[in-house]
Amino acid sequence: MAKSVLGIIGGSGFYNLPGIENPHWEKVSTPWGDPSDEILFAEVDGLPFRFLPRHGRGHRVSPTHINYRANIDAMKRAGVTDLVSISACGSLKDQYAPGHFVLVDQFIDRTFAREKSFFGDGCVAHVSMAHPVSPLLVDAIEQAAKAEDIDYTKGGTYLVMEGPQFSTRAESFLYRNWGCDVIGMTNMPEAKLAREAEICYATVAMVTDYDCWHEEVAHVDVAAVIAVMKDNTLKAQRLVHRLAAQFPREHQACPLGSDTALDVAIITAPEARAPALMAKLDAVAGRVLGKV
């Protein structure tokens, strides 16, 4: 059984994690270009830990221009087995007030300007995204949230919009009518790429605002988001520390097969695969390239 390596991708407001052991930043090169930043290598209670600020330290990279493929590839190269996305989001339901955390289990991808797969011309693969988060990882996050007395809901749908602008009211009402729970700009294609890289993935969506649908609450703006974000970040730091302290030191096989997703995904015959693409897939698909 493989050793667990816990990875965290921190979103808006979540750029560091105080109190970790043996921290050092390392540049991790990938064939897909540069990640958003260096990766912080550290330990928490002896558990190997990797942290990547999704927008870069100082929030330099917009949601559309994040190199999602490089970020996930870099985390894979850093040994991550289980990856938690910490993401600021807007609420599409009354009961999810600013400060509430949602452990989402579904996504609707409305992005259109991003590279969404490691595969393509030269090697085609189709991974299942029916269940996009790994249940054991979500369960571990829930246990940590309970232990830290954080207000949360388990389950929910995250609408991923392109951005960087916030929604129109018409869009906000549309997404509410679709039954979505929260809205953000970053978890796709991140979740899809994590599945292709056979990394177990889960999301903690931290509510900062009510988007623009709520009749009794001011429409979302950056100042309002930042005010809530500071408190959310402190809670998220507590959550991550608790998660790491309680996390299994041996990686547990995902019951949905997140960590073996490529076993039945690659459709291109071995003799037809493009060598250049195969070389780029060394980290993402190295486990199966010699066996399919």
- What is the average pLDDT across 224-237? 84
78 annotated to bind ligand: no
**Global confidence as pTM:** 0.95
Which residue out of 82, 209, 231, 282 is catalytically annotated?
209
Which one of 73, 82, 109, 211 is the catalytic residue? 211
Residue 134's nearest CA partner among 259, 11, 278 is 259
Answer yes or no: is 68 a known binding residue: no
- Average pLDDT of span 115-135: 97
Closest C-alpha among 178, 181, 166, 182 to residue 218: 166
Alpha carbon distance 72, 30 (integer Å): 10
Of 40-44, 68-72, 198-202, 211-215, the poorest mean pLDDT is in: 211-215
19 versus 290: the higher-pLDDT residue is: 19
Judge whether 118 and 73 are in contact, CB under 8 Å: yes
pLDDT of residue 292: 39
* 54 belongs to an annotated ligand binding site: yes
Looking only at the bridges linking them, the beta strands covering 47-53 and 6-10 are: parallel
* Domains of the chain with CATH codes: 6-289 (3.40.50.1580)
Average pLDDT over residues 187-201: 98
Contact 96, 182 (CB under 8 A): yes
The yes-or-no answer on residue 209 being catalytic is yes
- Known binder of ligand: residue 149? no
Helix (H, G, I), strand (E, B) or coil at 195: helix
Instruction: Summarize the confidence of residues 28-48 as an average pLDDT.
Output: 96
More confident residue, 213 or 69: 69
Q: How far apart are CA 273 and CA 258, in angstroms?
A: 24
Residue 45 has pLDDT above 90, yes or no: no
Confirm whether 149 is a catalytic residue. Answer: no
Mean pLDDT for the chain overall: 93
pLDDT in tens, 138-153: 999 999 999 999 999 9
> What φ, ψ does residue 60 adopt, rounded to 5°?
-95, -20
181 is in an annotated binding site: no
Q: Is 55 annotated as a binding residue?
A: yes
Is pLDDT at 289 greater than 70 in this prediction?
Answer: yes
Phi, psi angle pair for 68, to nearest 5°: -60, -40
Mean pLDDT value of segment 18-32: 93
